[in-house]
Amino acid sequence: MFHKAIIFSLGMLTLAGCNAQKKTKTPESTETAAGTKGNKPSVQKGDIIYFNQGENKFLKEYEMNVTFKGISEDSRCPEGVSCIWAGAAVAQVEVMGTYSRPMVLYLATTENAGRNYRKSQEFNGYTLSLEEVSPFPKSDGGTKALEGKYKIGIKITKTYGSPTSTTK
């Protein structure tokens, strides 16, 4: 009898765990999935498309799924501090075409060939450019305080004369 009670309890806990996972999943849609950590879904202003950290969008006009994974490096000079170098932020953007595998692009706020920083990269006949990264680091909290709060703006333009379907 005791074994039946234990098995029944484990079964109920398993079902409760499955139900909790269903409630926490973000809604999947073909246009926009909501951002993480209570952020409002991003919007498009002009040619720039904004993403909150962790946000995923399917961009129908480009036949491309874009996910802002996060900021891998943020060495920008904090507000209110004098720095020798302005620094750079590097965003990890995962892109996947309708008929291609996912690819992570590293887009930086500045061009610097020596450090392998690129403001824009090509994918499936389009050029993705990093236009904006916010918020800016503060002198007291640094970049650790900004984790999960980043927002980027990217611009996607058609690459003319690109013979390859997937380039980096």
What is the model's pLDDT at position 46?
Answer: 64
> What does the pLDDT read at residue 128?
92
pLDDT of residue 86: 78
The residue among 23, 6, 124, 16 whose CA lies nearest residue 65 is 124
Mean pLDDT of 34-47: 53
Quick one: CA dihedral 122, 155, 135, 66, positive or negative? Answer: negative
Of the pLDDT bands very low, low, confident and very high (cuts 50, 70, 90), residue 38 is very low
pLDDT digits (tens, 9 = 90+) for 120-142: 999 988 999 999 888 877 776 66
Angstrom distance (rounded) from CA 109 to CA 62? 23
131, HSE (Cβ side, Cα atoms, 13 Å): 15
Contact predicate 154/51, CB 8 Å: yes
pLDDT of 95 above 70: yes
What phi, psi does 2 have (nearest 5°)?
Answer: -65, -40
Average pLDDT over residues 86-115: 88
Q: What is the Cβ-side half-sphere exposure of residue 82, based on CA atoms within 13 angstroms?
A: 0
Average pLDDT of 164-168? 50
β 89-97/44-45 pair status: unpaired
